[in-house]
Structure 1
Amino acid sequence: MYKVEGVVDPILRTGATEAHEKLPIHFQTVLTCIPDFVIYSDFEEDIAGHHLHDILSEVDEDLRQSNPDFKLYNKLRAHGRDGLDYETLFGSGSGGATDNPGWKLDKWKFMPMVDRALRHRPEAKWFVFVEGDTYLVWQNMMEWLSKLDPGRPHYLGKHMYIGSVLFGHGGSGFALSNPAMQRVSQRWRQARAEIEAYTAESWAGDMVLGKIIKDVGIDMFWAFPHLQGDSPTTMDWNVSKLGREPWCYAPATFHHLNSREYEALWAFEQQWLLGHPYPSWTSPKFGDIFKAVILPQLRERRDSWDNMAAGTKYSTEAFVRLTEEDRRALSPAERQAPGSFEGCRAACESQESCIQFSFSPGRCATSTELRLGHAADVPCLEYSNAAAMCLKPGSGRRVEGSLSSSEEFIQAGWIMSRVSKYVERLDDSCVHIEEEWIS
């Protein structure tokens, strides 16, 4: 356990529609290492001995009574969890949508959350905000923040835009230094009615917060790759953004994890700590996590598995529509690709940079991006970078939505000789990285 009082205040944001599902794994894993944290929700309650604070009580009472976004909140206040009824089935998160009650409430939490967190722990140097499906690599986060000056106004975020507004994506986690918190809190108190009016017209609370932070003169620090919008099972391990590839850097968060993925990462962290105890602590890198958690799960063939291959696609349906000239342009391996798992593999092997593929009857997809993916009966993730690559049974295409049946025959494969070379090449690239932290 590491001493954090007066240094970092971790804040977890959740809601009544998801709290009982998503919080327990936090209490069993990462939060066991953090002696002092706070949980803000839209409903005051206790879960597994931990108190959840109603952050929406900070919003203007007249607004709560008049704005339809607060319909669920007012039902919760009046009837407790008995007021959830159908909203429970359509809560925010992987099963939700932008017009569901839980999502509508969520955008109102960000500004009052900053103000209340500062009142709760005014002496903290850093405030780290995460969601119910965010995995916080706590030791890494502490190490990263120690590289930065907490006396300056910092806003660390995974970059995202809505229109022209740049902000730190809430699910990826973001961090504010104490001076930044003070500026935002002061702005909230001075212009609360104006900010609430802007929130009412806006789509996302993390965007509202990002705009206000910019308004008070603080630029966002682009924290990629330390803050991640996807989980280790869905991220592209060789993605390049801002001229950086994750492999050689240290992660501070992952997003969109299910309980099994939490457990796998937690087990990795415990094993890593045993092998790298203080004072000889070394931060685990993305490459370390890949080799320990992801690589052992890759193989030549996995049945009932969608590895989210998202490159060249072949299907018997599409072939029928091809002109004779287009058919002749295909290689023999490509013509056979949708016919069988072996044919799909051959098509991938015929492409020099292809590293993985997926097959279902009449469909083959090959990819130059390496992902583990998930069991075929796991729901697709909404609002994830990988959402568009999730295979929906019977559709013949990848769509954002739920994979509702495990009966669809899906197989995944990796060209393991190329995976080995992939790992070697990325390991070699780390020679040119002098510091694992972007600061």
Structure 2
Amino acid sequence: MSLLAILPLFPATIGATEALEQLPIHFKTVLTCIPDFVIYSDFEKDITGHHLHDVFDQVDNKIRNSNPDFELYNNLRASGREGLDYQTLFGSGSGGATDNPGWKLDKWKFMPKVDRALSHRPEAKWFVFIEGDTYLVWQNMLEWLSRFDPSQPHYLGKHMYIGSVLFGHGGSGFVLSNPAMQKVSQRWSEAKAEIEAYTAGEWAGDMVLGKIIKDVGIDMFWGFSHLQGDSPTTMDWNVSELGRCYAPATFHHLNTLEYETLWAFEQQWLLDRPPGAFPRFRDMFKGVILPRLRQRRDSWDNMAAGTEYSAEKFGKLSEDGRSALSSAGWQAPDSFEGCRAACERKTDCIQFSFSHGRCTTSTEFRLGHAADSPCLDCSNAAAKCLEPGGYKESITSSNSEAFIQAGWMMSRVFNYVERLEGSCAHKGAEWISARLETGRL
């Protein structure tokens, strides 16, 4: 899905396979702040009184009827959402899996939705596109955009490359000014067949749009740190480039609980904030992340990614590597306490995880998420299943609730908080509104 926000309006695009799962939380939270919005989808219908417009109704019929990417769309038109089977609804992998039917169709949405959005709201100054699992910090987005001239062609995005093509990542949200929208729409009307042929050979619609925007002479403005590709629970808070005093405008990959948590934080912030203040990364860390950190959390995956201690890893060590391994390292996979000791021995280790003979220590700093059952999901950071072969058999009813345990070095966490306080104590929110000579921010 892509929610397209028009300031002071708010249009959007969402896939039918995601709409019922992702849209309701938007209607209960951020969209309550936005006076007008439009939602585009691959299936026209109403959800809780809100209309979803068919984004493909102007795509060439030959493309829709002949390209296999439109199989999902054609099935929806013929049988509705009720006609989709489980595999089609949820795909065969993650939301970004290239063999997911919804993902195949998604790439075709970007160009027509720009054209349709402009036709729906031709007088809007700004168009902000987000996706169904993107959280929009509306007050920060408005303040950030006030630092740009909307009469000029602007394309603001979280930088990403596919090959040599630089584009704004769709899930992180991207912004087009009205003049930029007009240029893209004109290009679409003049070279529709050429663009559709190009789209057919690619896999990411946000990349296709980024290329067309470059073709019409508009460079992308690098919007990181304001635009984020991760959620507050999965992002690495130890990334120096993040800029703790900056004000985030978007987060990505949020579930319903995370939406509700951020929304509650924002509402409290609005009640307590000093006049003219905007929530920064520093404030969100202190209000959302810090209260949830513990010396130990059972059944929790903090996505620790770094040095792994396990029999498997030990077996691959060279003789020199085995000799260099400390006694704490050898004992790290034996217990949660042993894993903690291995982390404590490293001055830059701030968190660790332990799971049945596997210890991972990390200099990255994440909250992570609850792990309700073995191998229920995969760790995005480690890109591997939490339950290696054989672990399932070793889990009994007495310890199944703690098959993975997370820990943080809380003294180092508090030192981190002190550094946050020192770096932002006398500053308001900082904003990125000038391009460096390299084009990077």
TM-score by length of 1: 0.91
Residue 29 of structure 1 and its aligned partner are, at CA, apart by 0.8
Contact 1:94-1:381 within 8 A present in 2 as well: no
1:217-236 to 2 correspondences below 5 Å: 217-236=217-236
User: Quick one: distance in 2 between partners of 1:6 and 1:199?
Assistant: 25
- The answer to whether structure 1 residue 253 and structure 2 residue 274 are counterparts is no
Residue matched to 1:209: 209
Residue 368 of structure 1 and its aligned partner are, at CA, apart by 0.8
For residue 355 of structure 2, the aligned residue among 345, 355, 360 is 360
Residue matched to 2:371: 376
User: Quick one: distance in 2 between partners of 1:93 and 1:129?
Assistant: 24
1:97-136 to 2 correspondences below 5 Å: 97-136=97-136
> For residues 374 and 154 of structure 1, do their structure 2 counterparts lie closer, same or farther at Cα, with a shift above 3 Å needed?
same
**What amino acid sits opposite 1:260 in the alignment?**
L
- The answer to whether structure 1 residue 162 and structure 2 residue 162 are counterparts is yes
The SS at the match of 2:421 is helix
User: Quick one: distance in 2 between partners of 1:333 and 1:89?
Assistant: 47
**What amino acid sits opposite 1:409 in the alignment?**
F
Residue 183 of structure 1 and its aligned partner are, at CA, apart by 0.4
Q: Deviations over 1:162-216 (max 9, x none)?
A: 0110000000000000000000000000100000000001110000000000000
Q: How many residues align?
A: 419
User: Quick one: distance in 1 between partners of 2:35 and 2:245?
Assistant: 30
Residue 85 of structure 1 and its aligned partner are, at CA, apart by 2.0
User: Quick one: distance in 1 between partners of 2:279 and 2:39?
Assistant: 27
**What amino acid sits opposite 2:167 in the alignment?**
F
1:387-402 to 2 correspondences below 5 Å: 387-389=381-383, 391-395=385-389
For residue 332 of structure 2, the aligned residue among 327, 337, 340 is 337
**What amino acid sits opposite 1:420 in the alignment?**
F
Residue 95 of structure 1 and its aligned partner are, at CA, apart by 4.9
User: Quick one: distance in 2 between partners of 1:252 and 1:58?
Assistant: 32
Residue matched to 2:413: 419
Residue matched to 2:423: 429
User: Quick one: distance in 2 between partners of 1:231 and 1:395?
Assistant: 29
1:4-153 to 2 correspondences below 5 Å: 7-91=7-91, 94-95=94-95, 97-153=97-153
Residue matched to 1:303: 298
User: Quick one: distance in 1 between partners of 2:378 and 2:232?
Assistant: 14
The SS at the match of 2:10 is strand
**What amino acid sits opposite 2:152 in the alignment?**
R
> For residues 435 and 262 of structure 1, do their structure 2 counterparts lie closer, same or farther at Cα, with a shift above 3 Å needed?
closer
- The answer to whether structure 1 residue 350 and structure 2 residue 345 are counterparts is yes
Contact 2:278-2:429 within 8 A present in 1 as well: no
> For residues 284 and 395 of structure 1, do their structure 2 counterparts lie closer, same or farther at Cα, with a shift above 3 Å needed?
farther
User: Quick one: distance in 2 between partners of 1:79 and 1:187?
Assistant: 34
**What amino acid sits opposite 2:430 in the alignment?**
E
> For residues 317 and 70 of structure 1, do their structure 2 counterparts lie closer, same or farther at Cα, with a shift above 3 Å needed?
same
Residue 246 of structure 1 and its aligned partner are, at CA, apart by 3.1
**What amino acid sits opposite 2:19 in the alignment?**
A
Residue 147 of structure 1 and its aligned partner are, at CA, apart by 1.0
Residue matched to 1:318: 313
Moved more, 315-324 or 48-57: 315-324
User: Quick one: distance in 2 between partners of 1:101 and 1:75?
Assistant: 11
The SS at the match of 1:248 is coil
Q: Deviations over 1:79-110 (max 9, x none)?
A: 11233124444349845621121111100000
> For residues 432 and 267 of structure 1, do their structure 2 counterparts lie closer, same or farther at Cα, with a shift above 3 Å needed?
closer
Contact 1:305-1:412 within 8 A present in 2 as well: yes
> For residues 293 and 431 of structure 1, do their structure 2 counterparts lie closer, same or farther at Cα, with a shift above 3 Å needed?
closer
> For residues 186 and 157 of structure 1, do their structure 2 counterparts lie closer, same or farther at Cα, with a shift above 3 Å needed?
same
Contact 1:315-1:362 within 8 A present in 2 as well: yes
User: Quick one: distance in 2 between partners of 1:238 and 1:140?
Assistant: 22
Residue 377 of structure 1 and its aligned partner are, at CA, apart by 3.0
Unaligned runs of 5+ in 2: 392-399, 434-441
For residue 409 of structure 1, the aligned residue among 385, 403, 412 is 403
Contact 2:350-2:409 within 8 A present in 1 as well: yes
User: Quick one: distance in 2 between partners of 1:341 and 1:6?
Assistant: 50
> For residues 178 and 395 of structure 1, do their structure 2 counterparts lie closer, same or farther at Cα, with a shift above 3 Å needed?
farther
Unaligned runs of 5+ in 1: 398-405
Q: Deviations over 1:391-424 (max 9, x none)?
A: 4212599xxxxxxxx7671000000000010121
Residue 325 of structure 1 and its aligned partner are, at CA, apart by 3.5
User: Quick one: distance in 1 between partners of 2:239 and 2:212?
Assistant: 30
The SS at the match of 1:149 is coil
Moved more, 133-142 or 326-335: 326-335
Residue matched to 1:174: 174
Residue 321 of structure 1 and its aligned partner are, at CA, apart by 4.1
Residue 435 of structure 1 and its aligned partner are, at CA, apart by 5.9
**What amino acid sits opposite 2:410 in the alignment?**
M
User: Quick one: distance in 2 between partners of 1:37 and 1:92?
Assistant: 32
**What amino acid sits opposite 2:419 in the alignment?**
R
Residue matched to 1:403: none
The SS at the match of 1:17 is helix
Aligned identity (percent) is: 74
Q: Deviations over 1:269-312 (max 9, x none)?
A: 000011137xx231100110010011000010000001011111
User: Quick one: distance in 2 between partners of 1:374 and 1:143?
Assistant: 31
For residue 263 of structure 1, the aligned residue among 260, 264, 279 is 260
User: Quick one: distance in 1 between partners of 2:427 and 2:333?
Assistant: 41
User: Quick one: distance in 1 between partners of 2:369 and 2:58?
Assistant: 40
Residue 58 of structure 1 and its aligned partner are, at CA, apart by 1.7
Residue 238 of structure 1 and its aligned partner are, at CA, apart by 2.5
**What amino acid sits opposite 1:9 in the alignment?**
L
